[in-house]
């Protein structure tokens, strides 16, 4: 089970990603949902598809782990923390436009279970401003 987005503590990466961490449990016991911020999407209006990591994929913080395809190009998704993917949002696969219409809510991309020794020193409680997310 993943943390409820309404009760989760949202942390942001310099790459304009976010991670919703359960404030009542350990990230090593409760998967944290991961998504991208509106800033990451820029002026993208039409999302035509997503390539996301498969369940059981082990991610390394800061490394590319997916792509959001838009009518204007693509947006690279970076892992905000290291861990294993436990679920991929089926709603986003079915209707990728959710990523634009609700990027900080229903448009979450996948959930990751982080190792018990994880620290989130590279994440902040506020969305960053400035460059960082790749938009080739």
Q: State pLDDT tens for residues 43-89.
A: 777 899 999 999 999 999 999 999 999 888 899 999 998 999 999 99
CA distances from 45 to 50, 82, 100, 103 (A): 14, 30, 7, 12
CA distances from 95 to 42, 50, 101, 114 (A): 19, 10, 11, 27
The distance between the two most distant Cα atoms of the chain, rounded to a whole number of Å, is: 40
DSSP H/E element including 10: strand 9-12
Structure confidence by residue, pLDDT tens digits, 103-118: 999 999 999 998 865 6
pTM: 0.81
**What is the rounded CA–CA span in Å between residue 89 and residue 71?**
21
């Amino acid at each position: 089970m993943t943390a409820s987005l309404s009760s989760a503590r949202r942390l942001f990466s310099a790459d304009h990603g976010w991670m919703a961490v359960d404030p009542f449990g350990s990230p090593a016991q409760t998967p944290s949902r991961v998504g991208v911020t509106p800033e990451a999407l820029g002026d993208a209006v039409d999302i035509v598809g997503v390539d996301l990591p498969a369940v059981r994929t082990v991610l390394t913080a800061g490394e590319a782990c997916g792509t959001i395809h838009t009518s204007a190009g693509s947006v690279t998704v970076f892992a905000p923390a290291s861990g294993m993917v436990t679920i991929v949002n089926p709603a986003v696969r079915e209707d990728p436009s959710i990523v634009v219409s609700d990027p900080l809510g229903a448009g979450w991309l996948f959930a990751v279970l982080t190792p018990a020794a994880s620290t989130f020193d590279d994440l902040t409680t506020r969305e960053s401003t400035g460059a960082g997310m790749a938009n080739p």
